[in-house]
Amino acid sequence: MLDDVDDDSNDSVRGMSDLMLVEFLMCVLPLALIVALFKDGPLTPPSKSTQLKNDQLLLKDALRQLGRNWDYLILFCTFSIGVGFFNSLMTLLNQLIAPFGYRCLNFYSAALHSVFTFIH
């Protein structure tokens, strides 16, 4: 009777090894084709930034340009407000449930983060 159990476990281990080998081959074969057939770069540059690759800005100049870009400033402010709202809500939630013995909020924090990320 115990021999039947050992045979079943050996079959499942063998099946798992075969499955992992098939998965490995399914990943390696496309990778080899991609490495062999793809070129180093596209025929035309994909964006204006790649065309201007040689014209590198200094950090100070790049930050100055970001400070003058109205779209970036709006995005930066709205994102900062959203992050601040989320952090203050998590702090408040921690203070509310800490007296009841909940010290670790990893699960609750992750759940609320996913909800607020979906809403935001």
| Tens of pLDDT, residues 40-50 | 777 777 777 66
Is residue 28, in this structure, part of any structural domain at all? yes
The reported pLDDT for the residue numbered 77 is 95
Q: Are 76 and 120 within one domain? A: yes
The token pair at 87 is 């952090």
The reported pLDDT for the residue numbered 1 is 47
Is residue 22, in this structure, part of any structural domain at all? yes
Q: What domain range includes position 30?
A: 9-39
Query: Is it the case that residue 9 has pLDDT exceeding 70?
Result: no
Domain count, the chain: 2
Q: What distance in Å separates the CA atoms of residue 105 and residue 108, rounded to the nearest whole number?
A: 5
27 half-sphere exposure, CB direction, 13 A CA radius:
6
Q: What is the mean pLDDT of residues 76-82?
A: 94
The residue with greater pLDDT, 115 or 39, is 39
Q: What's the pLDDT band for 114 if we cut at 50, 70, 90?
A: low
Is residue 57, in this structure, part of any structural domain at all? no
Q: Going by C-beta distance under 8 Å and a sequence separation of 6 or more, which residues neighbour residue 67? A: 73
